[in-house]
Structure 1
Amino acid sequence: MRQLTRFNRPLIAFLSIILSTQAFAESGENAQTANSTKPLKEVKFLGLKLIDANLNTVRTHLWDIGGFKQASTTIRQRNIDKFFPKSSIRDSYYVTFHYNHAGDVVSVKRLYRPYSIENSNKRTDIQTKDVALKLIKDLGQPSESIRKGWGGTLSYQSYIWQDETMQITVDREGGERLGNVYIEYRLKTHDRYAVDKDVKT
């Protein structure tokens, strides 16, 4: 028995070194993956870079990609646009863009339908986790995850990504389990009450 143990010692030592090296390499890869997430200022919505978006670029871009109908009540508005999907993102009820007086985008909200074939092969209701998982692939883990609702099956998870430029929230309307899922982008660098004035000197 002693001879067998002595014989295995070099092998055990060798395997320990291999496993330690592998674990170290994997931890390095995980750290690199966590640090390689996209900055929120680079986030795009429907192919539009939000940090640079304004009323004119939003309307032009959605017209160019097609598949949306603008709510007639917002056509002459300068602080809000509301678009209803016709052939694009049919898993959503609508998308709203809010602007400040200068025309810069200050927030974007996309309200999902309860069910969508686009999100699942099964007609199961959309969960906040379904939307969050898509964002995690691009942005990494959320800054915050909050359990909302009250006890049992009526609770759900809300997710937030944020930095100094933007806050992205995946939540439900009314903060309750029966509310429809939405994703909202709030741009911190664009003042909601900023006014664009031509000052003549």
Structure 2
Amino acid sequence: MLCPYGAGVVTYNSTRDFVTVGISAIQGHEDNDADPDIWIIFEYADNVIPAVPEQVGGYPANSTTGMAFYALKHRDGEPETLDLYVDEGKVGQFAYVKQSTKADMVLNSNVPVGTTLNYTLHVADYSPWLDYAACIRVLISAGQQDGWDIRYSIGEVDIIATMTSADGFIFVRENRVQPNTVQSIRVSFTRTSVVHHNMTLTIELAPHRGSTVVDSLQFMT
């Protein structure tokens, strides 16, 4: 239940702060890995919060439906505001492909063993107001990555296990995708053997855990 409430906070004004406090509550749950599947919005101990409008000029209004407007947009995304691309040549930038069916990047399989190919994945939020606890994950065809050691990191943190898990890596806490910002993930492919299978590595991006994919990229060998 989401019930923004200012008990004991003398500066709280529900007709001004209801949605702001509600957004903070949603982000707080996400940052503590306690994100529910469903939010119920309730005006606890308050009878002055308006039901409508839900938005003003594209921004959530300070109302009950305005809180729902934010929660739905935060979960499902605003069209063409969440972008996944690779730094080299801005491959994939402004190309919102939900299920990529062709290679965006082709790795050179003829490089010597021990060679590392580095790329940077960028997750950009073009919205002026909407943040995302975005979800990014990796799918590898038939589980084959023979001949390559593939690693993922954000900053100095290794995120291999989460990137390749069913739920993927979630952009929360200091990694939250804020309005008009870009978050980056480093990907390295190190050649480990001259023997290898052809591989298709698909990277999918969704606005939220469990939401529909809005953009994707493919690496192929």
TM-score (norm 2): 0.26
Structure with the greater alpha carbon radius of gyration: 1
Structure showing the higher helix proportion among its residues:
1
TM-score (norm 1): 0.28
